[in-house]
Structure 1
């Protein structure tokens, strides 16, 4: 059976943090639901995406600005590292496609 490890995020750039060979982007996504009384509620989820491919990371750092609409696809990666003798587990969203739609 074929397996799939893919995410898709459509939202607005909050911040861009370039590093030596990667870039991290915080993206705001909105979700809506109705409460028990039928009132529409909305919340913003902030999602951090990492761009690892060096040329793409540089392009994102140069072109993605706060407020821009983005459509990002990629894979989910689970990792761990030691901090003060304890194992810390992370779940990372690694971008493979990063489309920026600048504000007009």
Structure 2
């Protein structure tokens, strides 16, 4: 039996939350440093995460700027546009933790949402 797996793990700050009827879309900013010449510069990488069910309910309780940890699985997608197949990857959240509310210096880690 194969034990292969593909997962993602993101820790960052929420930039936007877009709730819909059965799904919630969350954008999470992750900062990282990169050396350019002799100097280190800070960059932001934006991650779009899709949440369903209880995980979507949990995401809707978060706020812009909150520090969150999201884990889940990548899911390959494909659709047709103008006769051409467009391929992509969706990040589907399986667990959503709110670690720190924006503007709160304490640790507000909340339980997992499965």
TM-score by length of 1: 0.89
- Kindly provide the CA deviation profile for residues 34-76 of structure 1, in whole angstroms up to 9, marking residues without a partner as x: 2232x11110011000012x23212312x11110000000001
**SS, match of residue 55 in structure 2:** helix
2:14/2:27 contact within 8 Å kept:
yes
Deviation at 1:24, TM superposition (A): 0.6
Aligned Cα root-mean-square deviation (Å): 1.3
Find the aligned partners of 1:86 and 1:35 in 2 and give their Cα distance. Answer: 38
Gaps of 5+ in 1: none
Find the aligned partners of 1:98 and 1:59 in 2 and give their Cα distance. Answer: 7
TM-score by length of 2: 0.82
Find the aligned partners of 1:55 and 1:33 in 2 and give their Cα distance. Answer: 36
What is the number of equivalent residue pairs in this alignment?
Answer: 101
**SS, match of residue 56 in structure 2:** helix
The runs of 4+ residues in structure 1 deviating greater than 3 Å are: none
Gaps of 5+ in 2: 105-114
